[in-house]
Structure 1
């Protein structure tokens, strides 16, 4: 398949590397310099084993050649989507789009797009971009995909990686996969920023663990999903399975970048306000991360 990926960050490069083994990949980047690097060198994938793998891809600045593809993945931060929307509107409506963002605040924008087929996806992998053409795969997870708009049989046309290290799982309900990911991000990302620790310390340190549980209890009052205990245990499992990983939000803070705190905790607080619920701990954590973000930037 001819697969486009908008965004040359860690997830864009990770998807390009794995899908590039069996599909024709074009990475669309914000900077021409990165596009040149990718065209010349390909994507270098660092994973288990003595040698890195290099996967050849094509690259273009965003906006070029986005009309002759079978599917396009949008792998940018949620706060970048408003600026990207004019480019998305130029993509023919018959080309399926797949959005890979944290949070759920972007769903409203998806409703305004004319495209007949839209997927949403959540990613459990650990990935870190080393430079413009290098990505390290730090933890194996799953990519969970669901149809947001269009036929439920679209998964037959979805590109597969054909690699056990990059499984793609399809779900019927997009809300449940986005909600589970939202709650996990809402707990792990902000707390790793505040305590400045890797993911595993949130369950290894009993005091951090108490805050994790307290936030979960508050968020669950707003999003009462089925099987409360199972959901919390899955979040603990994520912390344990990625114990040596630096969360994406902590990495953003360390690099002086804007975080997705508004797309994650900000969204939860807005929903809570609409439902007439006050989330004291969540509000405190939100304000703390916003303060840290302002200091570091």
Structure 2
């Protein structure tokens, strides 16, 4: 199976490493020539959850035209970068299968406007940290959930063969509900850790942030009651525990002066809730605080 990963960030690099098997041809499309050269020269290093090092040799390039169009293309960039990929995606044939991995729910509409006949969406629950242009750390084992958005999904079925203990793959029936669940988790953990400037585990070891976390959870469930059986508060606590020493992706962006995914994650949930006739005052307050932090010196 041939795979093209689009995006040289933490998620893209870790997926390229985890999905690389003896019978796979792995490629990665990156934005900067320096990263492409380093990956081609050094290979991709992964530090696994046991702190063991693994090396993978992959083909990296800035030019999408060098990669096979009959491969599965995994779009692993943040939502606000999708617009810059419009030309690339329009240039790919309609037969090219696309798998989108973004936080939030807004990329659903973006994907629905594309010409490709086979489109899937993924929600990943593992922890990843980019260490350099050619190295990534696996910070916590978690599922890669996949749901078909368009087509019969046949090209993506080969992913079942790649499921293992380091990257368990689970098939989900409803793509929108899968993405909403992940977005709700991100609203709970990413927003609070970013504002409080703490690691994930601190949300449940501090009695005050734990109260706030539970209050926010109850508010979200009032607008998304169908998620109550899919996302228990115990699930939120469990994720905070299993990723206790991790820095959330939104906080990482803030600390590095990058544009945060506030609108894609929190804004998307607020928009859906509003369309359902629900006000989320706590989340709305967090959204305004995050937007204030973002406008206070973020490099775009």
Task: Classify the TM-score, shorter chain.
Answer: over 0.9
Query: In the aligned structure 1, how far is the partner of 2:86 from the partner of 2:135?
Result: 27
Query: In the aligned structure 1, how far is the partner of 2:217 from the partner of 2:226?
Result: 12
From the superposition, tell whether residues 62 and 210 of structure 1 become closer, same or farther in structure 2 (CA, over 3 Å).
farther
Cα pair 2:48 2:137 within 8 Å, conserved: yes
From the superposition, tell whether residues 229 and 32 of structure 1 become closer, same or farther in structure 2 (CA, over 3 Å).
closer
Look up the match of 1:241.
Answer: 242
Query: In the aligned structure 1, how far is the partner of 2:10 from the partner of 2:49?
Result: 17
CA displacement at 1:252 relative to structure 2: 0.3
Query: In the aligned structure 2, how far is the partner of 1:2 from the partner of 1:153?
Result: 14
Q: Deviations over 1:211-264 (max 9, x none)?
A: 111212222222222545852221111111101100000000000000001001
Query: In the aligned structure 2, how far is the partner of 1:25 from the partner of 1:219?
Result: 39
From the superposition, tell whether residues 222 and 66 of structure 1 become closer, same or farther in structure 2 (CA, over 3 Å).
farther
Cα pair 1:19 1:159 within 8 Å, conserved: no
Alignment of 1:159-178 (within 5 A): 160-161=161-162, 163-178=164-179
Indicate the SS of the match to 2:27: strand
Alignment of 1:1-297 (within 5 A): 1-22=1-22, 23-49=24-50, 51-158=52-159, 160-161=161-162, 163-228=164-229, 230-297=231-298
Q: Deviations over 1:40-72 (max 9, x none)?
A: 111100114464111000011153324434200
Cα pair 1:20 1:56 within 8 Å, conserved: no
CA displacement at 1:183 relative to structure 2: 0.6
Query: In the aligned structure 2, how far is the partner of 1:192 from the partner of 1:152?
Result: 36
**Number of matched pairs:** 297
Which stretch has the larger CA shift, 205-214 or 123-132?
205-214
Cα pair 2:70 2:95 within 8 Å, conserved: no
Cα pair 1:142 1:168 within 8 Å, conserved: yes
Which stretch has the larger CA shift, 265-274 or 102-111?
265-274
Cα pair 1:21 1:55 within 8 Å, conserved: no
From the superposition, tell whether residues 277 and 134 of structure 1 become closer, same or farther in structure 2 (CA, over 3 Å).
same
Q: Deviations over 1:189-217 (max 9, x none)?
A: 01001111110111111110111112122
From the superposition, tell whether residues 114 and 66 of structure 1 become closer, same or farther in structure 2 (CA, over 3 Å).
farther
Query: In the aligned structure 1, how far is the partner of 2:126 from the partner of 2:231?
Result: 20
Indicate the SS of the match to 1:64: helix
CA displacement at 1:119 relative to structure 2: 0.7
Query: In the aligned structure 2, how far is the partner of 1:51 from the partner of 1:233?
Result: 31
Query: In the aligned structure 2, how far is the partner of 1:197 from the partner of 1:49?
Result: 24
Query: In the aligned structure 2, how far is the partner of 1:281 from the partner of 1:97?
Result: 36
Query: In the aligned structure 2, how far is the partner of 1:161 from the partner of 1:10?
Result: 20
List runs of 5+ in structure 2 lacking aligned partners: none
Q: TM-score, normalised by structure 2?
A: 0.94
Cα pair 2:27 2:67 within 8 Å, conserved: no
